[in-house]
Amino acid sequence: MRAVLVGPPGAGKGTQAQILASELSIPKVSTGDIFRANVSGGTELGKKAKEYMDRGDLVPDEVTNAMVKDRLAQGDAAKGFLLDGFPRNVAQAETLKGMLDELDTGLDVVLELRVDEEEVVKRLSGRRSCPECGRVYHVDYDAPKTEGVCDEDGTRLYQREDDREETVRHRLDVYREQTAPLVEFYEREGLLATISATGPVAEVTARAEAAIAGKR
């Protein structure tokens, strides 16, 4: 299974990707997580990405595309993958298509998560993330068993720099202008499945599973 999750910031892409990738036994490839790991590790890639991420802008395509190409060349991605946060504009989608064409393969499904903007602001202001395993929580909607600590590995949770309200509003503008056109692109390719991403996490997962099964 080769799948892509598309949706605005805070739609629950990371949350659902974690669950679905584990159910499907394929790696979750999150460009946001890879960038954040590089920023906290102080790598060259992290230095290139940080200023864009802090503003809520997209990291330039040449940087992002090269990173994804490397990641998809790793052995565990040969049997399939779930992309979270990539592609993010039509140019990245064309690049992905080229990469998969070279391997004589293609995507099976692009799952669009829909949620309204006020819900996004609520979700992101309460988000807490684990720097160790990447799992995301919410202080009200999906709280860890012990406040501020990851259930999986006991690591202290942190709040993302780009989750301040004004940066969230800017990320929503970037989504509308640059990422939303992808939805039409994939609709034309016959790959799009759209679900509502409001309601409890488990209900969204059930909708996602049904939508993926419908495209298999």
Which residues of the shown chain bind ligand AP5 in the complex (CB under 6 A)?
A: 7, 9-15, 31-32, 35, 52-53, 56-59, 64, 85-86, 88, 92, 123-124, 126-127, 136-138, 141-142, 162, 171, 200-201, 204
The pair of three-digit structure tokens given for residue 85, joined into one six-digit string: 């946060």
Structure tokens given for 161: 């720099």
Shortest distance in whole angstroms from residue 148 CB to Zn ion: 12
Question: Phi, psi (5° rounding) for residue 65?
Answer: -60, -40
**Distance between CA atoms of residues 165 and 133, nearest Å:** 25
Size of site (CB under 5 A) for Zn ion: 8
| Chosen residue from 66, 73, 78, 133 binding Zn ion by CB under 5 A | 133
> Which residue from 3, 72, 130, 182 is in contact with Zn ion, where contact means CB under 5 A?
130
Q: Helix (H) and strand (E) counts for the chain?
A: 9, 7
Whether 127 sits among the annotated catalytic residues: the reply is yes
Catalytic-labelled residue, pool 13, 28, 128, 135: 13
d(CA 91, CA 93): 5
Binding residue for Zn ion (CB under 5 A) from 23, 101, 153, 161? 153
Catalytic residue chosen out of the listed positions 28, 50, 88, 207: 88
Strand partners, 83: 4, 29
| Strand duo 28-30 + 2-6: pairing | unpaired
- For residues 107 and 2, the answer to whether their CB atoms sit within 8 Å is yes
**Is 160 one of the catalytic residues?**
yes
Judged by beta carbon, residue 155 or residue 198, the one nearer Zn ion is 155
Residue type, 162: D
Contact, 170 vs 161, CB < 8 A?
Answer: no
Q: Which is nearer to Zn ion, 33 or 112 (CB)?
A: 33
Residue whose CB is less far from ligand AP5, 49 or 109: 49
Contact residues toward Zn ion (CB under 5 A) are 130, 132-133, 135, 150, 152-153, 155
The residues carrying an active-site annotation are 13, 88, 127, 160, 171
